[in-house]
Amino acid sequence: MTKKDIEIGFWRFNDGFWSEPLTIENTEIYETEKLIINLSTFNQDYRNLSASKKRELKRVWAETLPKLENVKYLMTTHQIDQDFFEAICKMKNLEGIYIKWGKVESLENIANLNNLKHLYFGSNPRIESIEGILNLNKLITLELENFKNCKNLNKLEKLNNLQSLSIVASIDGPRIKFENLNFLSKLNNLKVLKLDVSLKYKKIEPILELKNLEKLWIPEHLYKKYDKNNLRKNFEKLKYGNLKN
């Protein structure tokens, strides 16, 4: 991770990383390494289509995605369904996926993306298991939003190459619930950790074992019983976050 990745995040939208979204008719989709598929309601051309034409456009995109062998980074802006997600999982050369939100129920086939290093999965409350993600051994950054019904987030301990982990709720939703944070103690390569969670057992000692952290954000209710100055002493490399000051 670069200094900017740590300070701001890997997924940035104002430094020239992404080009403009491409339409399905544009042959550049077969050459580009970075592709934005903009089928959100903020796209007026898409918004003006009839319901049947919207469905057809999504179907054609899903049919085309596995053929885009040069694409390494993909962003979707609409609420993807299971079929669209399955099409993404056939893009074997992907190194990064940014999914704004979805109504996906199974992540099983994301395990096929052996080259994946960066994954952002926005609000998707239907997910009950992250089993597919656990096979992504090259994953460096992982951001999950509103996975409130997922029962096995503690299994993230298997992803010991992770350098950045973010688990947060939706803006107006309840916090993600954990019994404890013991799984974190095995993620000793973490440089960035952001948790918006609630704990049954309000102990943050596993976080204190993460000596490589440079950025840390946790909600105040998790650390208010601790002395903040003493907490900071555990993190010699800490530069950013709500424990820094």
- Contacts of residue 196, defined as CB under 8 A and 6 or more positions apart, other chains included, come to 167, 168, 169, 175, 176, 219
- CA-CA distance, 161 to 140, in Å (whole number)? 6
One-letter amino acid identity for 237? Answer: K
Task: Determine the Cα–Cα distance for residues 156 and 168; give it in Å rounded to an integer.
Answer: 15
The answer to whether the Cα torsion of 159, 3, 118, 71 is positive or negative is negative
Give φ, ψ of 86 to 5 degrees: -60, -35
CA 119 to chain centre: 4
How high is the pLDDT of residue 204?
87
For the chain, which residues make up each domain, given as ranges? 3-174
Whole-Å CA distances, 189 to 4, 6, 8, 140? 17, 13, 18, 9
With b for 16 or more beta-carbon neighbours within 10 A and e for fewer, the 182-199 pattern comes to: ebbeebeebbbbbbbbeb
Q: Are 147 and 127 in contact (CB under 8 A)?
A: yes
In our burial notation (b when 16+ CB lie closer than 10 A, e otherwise), range 131-160 reads ebbbbbeebbbbbbbbbbebeebeebbbbe
- 179-219 pLDDT, tens digit per residue, is 888 999 999 999 999 998 878 777 888 999 999 999 999 88
Q: What is the pLDDT of residues 112-151, one digit of tens each?
A: 999 999 999 998 888 999 999 999 999 999 999 988 888 8
Given this model, what pLDDT does residue 95 score? 98
pLDDT above 80 for 175: no
Report pLDDT for 6. Answer: 94
Nearest residue to 1 (alpha-carbon basis) of 240, 242, 245: 240
N-term to C-term CA, the chain: 23
- Enter the pTM of the model: 0.93
The residues, any chain, with a CB within 8 Å of residue 238's CB and separated by 6 or more, are 213, 214, 215, 216, 232, 244
Assigned fold of 3-174? 3.80.10
Q: How far is CA 48 from CA 36, 51, 81, 203, in A?
A: 19, 9, 21, 51
pLDDT at 245: 65
